[in-house]
Structure 1
Amino acid sequence: MLNRRHFVAIAAVSAALLSSTSAIAADAHKVGILIPGSKSDKGWMESGYNGLLAAQEKYGENLEVQMIENINYADMEQALTQLAMGNELVIGVGGQTQQAVYKIAQRFPDTKFSIVGGNEGMEASNVAGYDVKQAEIAFVAGAAAAMMSENGAVSYVGGMEIPSIVNAGKEFGAGAKYINPDIKYFEAYTGDFDDVAGSKEATLAAINQGADVHYHILNLGLRGMEQAATENGTHIIGSYSNYCGTDPLYIAYSITGVGYQVEYAIDQLVEGTWEPGYMPFGLAMGKDASDMIVCEGDEEMKATLEEIMQKLLDGEISTLEG
């Protein structure tokens, strides 16, 4: 069984989400969501949570939500089982939920499951996989980093060394070299999206070799990159959501619509148009799904990035999957 703190988390979050409504409609749609990390990580998980809040605001009393966050991998199947027992739709936020979702989906054939960060290649009649196309927008982030770097050196830190995360790192480097073939590029993986010490160590190693702009696919591990950058006067390109103007440490943000896809899954449920299967998002789905925001870049820089994104859309530039 899930331990007590997870049951408390479900009840507390449900109450918070529903506090703006006086009651839940008898025929309200029921959605369960598993956010494996912290909903306050300034990254993937927070973006997913923001999408959930947007859906709750949109549908009000017609949507009843349960959420489990910050779950250990060993407890993931049990968490999904708990959510599947009482909801029409269960959303796994992150590719790390994919294996467990497909396993639990077999036990609940009448429940719909959506995976934000799902990969192509796995199929089930009640599972939808939404590919955020991180490698695609990472190429654009790399181009932005190269244009903003004063030292001609940039770095990337990923969490788990799995294909989608590695491919994003490779494309970040490729995007940087697209702008500056001579740029120095440093790439590292901590093995854990929440490893603060590991991400700080990796970022410091890159800084010591000249890197002054950093990119990441991390959750709470981002705190370590922030510490390293703050201590050394370097800067970060953030991921997932646009928070320009809130922290001078961040000079740009790549939009990877995790929250957009959470909201999309709920919209599809409510509208009766939800379908299983693999679905790529990325730049082709519009700027809410994927975009590159430079907080204070000049017009020439922004035009160059728009040109690169159009070339990606047109197939003139191709990237790895992930």
Structure 2
Amino acid sequence: MSAGALDAFAADTLHVGVLIPGSKSDKGWMESGYDGLVAAQKELGPRLKTQMIENINYADMEQALTNLASKNELVIGVGGQTQAAVLKVAKRFPNVKFSIVGGSKGADMPPNVAGYDVKQAEIAYVAGAAAAMLSKTGAVSYVGGMEIPSIVNAGKEFGNGAHAINPNIKYFESYTGDFDNVSKAKEATVAAIAQGADVHYHILNLGLRGMEQAATEKHTHIIGSYTDRCGTDPLYIAYSITGVGYQVQYAIDQLAAGTWQPGYKAFGLAMGPKASGIAVCNGTPEMNAKLKQIEDDILSGKIKVSEG
């Protein structure tokens, strides 16, 4: 975007483009990101003008981001899978700000890019502990989408958290290679249930539908990700909060306040309960206290978890 185009924006109007690679109604990461956009719109009202593109596959992300960058002063990529394309497009639009929700540490970021690390491994450890407390069979499972470091680290730490509560717990971990593949997620969950798992965790988008189908058919339960939706579906007995929507709103609020900053920023437990936490839907006071102690121990460094 040219300087002249930027100058053309009304001083009191914010123009923000958002790329949601999956479905905004996936009950997962993408929906949480969309919820953050809706919250920002509600907060800022007509001052905020947004353009959203959803359901874009990896090969088309660069084109979608170019479209957004040509018309907006801030572009937000919802998901670490947008990072490579954001870093490339941002170099062509030096006057546009870019924020990546799920940005990873160590990336060579241009001076107009911010990467927000949700630190999924932290809360996955806590979710694993909750799963072990909630399991009646002494077996739990995890299904991830793409087998990339942040997703693998979350699976590893979910298992570590479960074993911290019950050293003898059985843990089944699998990856579908696709966040949106319903049949593969169902197949993986059915296989874990056949081996005794009765509580399941995930980092999936639309693939979650497959986990839901398996859990419904076999009368097991799910710990959901990203947003606390306790009370909306008895299939879910807990939720990990990873602040995807919170980070979308954070980027927009920073733009509105004139305080937007580029570079890597860690969120996670250190940024408070809106950024990261666990909600056990019918948790006992003892269970909640134990999980809070685990969170505190992660923050203090007493419990060490993987990056990402």
Name the TM-score, length of structure 1 as normaliser.
0.92
Displacement of 1:305 in angstroms is 0.3
- 8 Å contact kept, 1:240–1:257: yes
| Structure 1 residues 268-293: Cα deviation after superposition (integer angstroms, max 9, x where no partner) | 10101111100000000000000000
Q: Distance in 2 between matches of 1:25 and 1:45?
A: 30
Q: Does 1:36 align with 2:24?
A: no
- 8 Å contact kept, 1:33–1:93: yes
SS at match of 1:186: strand
- 8 Å contact kept, 1:25–1:61: no
Match of 2:5 in 1: none
Q: Distance in 1 between matches of 2:166 and 2:46?
A: 52
SS at match of 1:156: strand
Which segments of structure 1 move beyond 4 Å, counting only runs of 4 or more?
none
Q: Distance in 2 between matches of 1:220 and 1:131?
A: 22
Name the TM-score, length of structure 2 as normaliser.
0.96
| Distance change (3 Å), C-alpha of 1:25 and 1:58 | farther
Match of 1:307 in 2: 293
Q: Does 1:106 align with 2:95?
A: no
SS at match of 2:222: strand
Q: Distance in 2 between matches of 1:39 and 1:90?
A: 17
Match 2:263 to one of 262, 273, 277: 277
| Structure 1 residues 242-273: Cα deviation after superposition (integer angstroms, max 9, x where no partner) | 11001000000000000000000001101011
Match of 1:159 in 2: 145
- 8 Å contact kept, 1:167–1:320: yes
Match of 1:180 in 2: 166
Displacement of 1:25 in angstroms is 6.8
Q: Distance in 2 between matches of 1:145 and 1:296?
A: 13
- 8 Å contact kept, 1:198–1:224: yes
SS at match of 2:212: helix
Q: Distance in 2 between matches of 1:137 and 1:67?
A: 28
| Structure 1 residues 52-95: Cα deviation after superposition (integer angstroms, max 9, x where no partner) | 00000010111100000011111100000000001000000000
Query: Where do 1:1-322 residues align within 5 Å?
Result: 27-122=12-107, 123-322=109-308
| Structure 1 residues 105-132: Cα deviation after superposition (integer angstroms, max 9, x where no partner) | 0000000000000001122100000000
Match of 1:5 in 2: none
List runs of 5+ in structure 1 lacking aligned partners.
Answer: 1-23
Displacement of 1:26 in angstroms is 6.9
SS at match of 2:89: helix
Q: Distance in 2 between matches of 1:49 and 1:163?
A: 24
Q: Distance in 2 between matches of 1:178 and 1:46?
A: 31
Q: Distance in 2 between matches of 1:72 and 1:256?
A: 23
Match of 1:4 in 2: none
Q: Distance in 2 between matches of 1:26 and 1:271?
A: 12
List runs of 5+ in structure 2 lacking aligned partners.
Answer: 1-8
- 8 Å contact kept, 1:91–1:116: yes
Q: Distance in 2 between matches of 1:140 and 1:213?
A: 14
Match of 1:12 in 2: none
- 8 Å contact kept, 1:173–1:185: yes
Q: Distance in 2 between matches of 1:25 and 1:228?
A: 51
Displacement of 1:27 in angstroms is 3.6
Q: Distance in 1 between matches of 2:300 and 2:59?
A: 42
| Structure 1 residues 197-216: Cα deviation after superposition (integer angstroms, max 9, x where no partner) | 00000000000000000000
1:169 is aligned with what amino acid?
G
Q: Distance in 2 between matches of 1:169 and 1:279?
A: 22
Q: Distance in 2 between matches of 1:183 and 1:127?
A: 42
Q: Distance in 2 between matches of 1:26 and 1:37?
A: 32
Which piece of structure 1 moves more, 296-305 or 134-143? 296-305
- How many residue pairs align between the two structures? 299
CA RMSD of aligned residues (A): 1.0
| Structure 1 residues 122-164: Cα deviation after superposition (integer angstroms, max 9, x where no partner) | 2210000000000000000000000000000000000000000
